[in-house]
Structure 1
Amino acid sequence: MSIWERLSVQEKVREALGTVTIVNDSGHHFGRPYMTAYQLAIKVDRAHPEIAKELKAEVGGTGKGYSLAQYLAHQLSQRIKSGGDDFEIEGAFLSNDDVRRLTYSGPDGEPFDSSLTGTGFDISMFRLRRPHPAG
């Protein structure tokens, strides 16, 4: 059984995405905000540090190697691809154009930089999918 299944990671990701702060809570047509894979990894790690421990990975950042952020992004990407519009989470990319630095506050409160800025890779983002309108 995979770590994803054994530790119910999808439920923990859904929980984390469900607690994202919504500033424009007036029913804005954009819907819920996206979280970068790093933001998601930080939120998941704060609530469930056993996942990163089991993976033998840190949350992420420049020079950290394999990370919880990479694991979550990869797993979610595969599930979004195979589940399509029926999967409860959707993904998108934030362009890396003209981004010099993205700095996050890690689970321990210490800042760290994204390892993706200045690379040829876009920055993955995720959010809970909006329910389909009845029709």
Structure 2
Amino acid sequence: MPSVWDRLSVLEKVIAVLREVTPEPPGHHLGRPYATAYQLAIALHTRYPEVAHELSFEIGGVDTGHHNSLAQYLGQQLSTRIAREGDASAIEGAFLSNDHMTNLQFVDAHGGHHTSSLIDSGFPLTMFRLRRAEVRP
């Protein structure tokens, strides 16, 4: 039986969400902005709520009271695929340091607030963006 990831084409949905991230200023040398796993989870939940529903995951954050979340799931799945596929991956990842940070809060489409649970955890936040070859106008 195929996994939820495969059955619901989650990678294709994540790529669609990453294509809609506000682009960099034209021609800027830093390239497209990264989106944190929280931002991806919020956008995915807004556009494709069936994914979170099927997985029984909330978006995530310190107030959920659960270790497993859509943000955590997406970060883990994408990181695993990037490690396995290397430069062939359509998506690249990075970490955002928690140094000198006390709070990082995100707002979903319904005005709900999601505060990162990683700030004091010793783990950096994962961020993702499309590789340049995957970016289309």
Q: TM-score, normalised to structure 2's length? A: 0.92
Partner of 1:106: 108
Shift of 1:101: 0.3
Partner of 2:83: 81
Query: Which structure 2 residues correspond to residues 1-135 of structure 1 after superposition, within 5 A?
Result: 1-22=2-23, 24-64=24-64, 65=66, 66-131=68-133
RMSD of aligned alpha carbons: 1.2
The structure whose residues are more often helix, as a share, is 2
Percent identity, please: 53
Q: Which runs of at least 4 in structure 1 moved beyond 6 Å after TM superposition?
A: none
Shift of 1:110: 1.5
Deviations 1:58-86 (A, max 9, x none): 00010421100011001001100000001
Unaligned runs of 5+ in 2: none
Verify the 8 A CA contact 2:34 2:129 in the aligned structure 1. yes
**Count of aligned pairs between the two proteins:** 131
Verify the 8 A CA contact 2:63 2:114 in the aligned structure 1. no
Q: TM-score, normalised to structure 1's length? A: 0.93
Unaligned runs of 5+ in 1: none
Q: Secondary structure at the match of 1:131?
A: helix
Shift of 1:112: 2.0
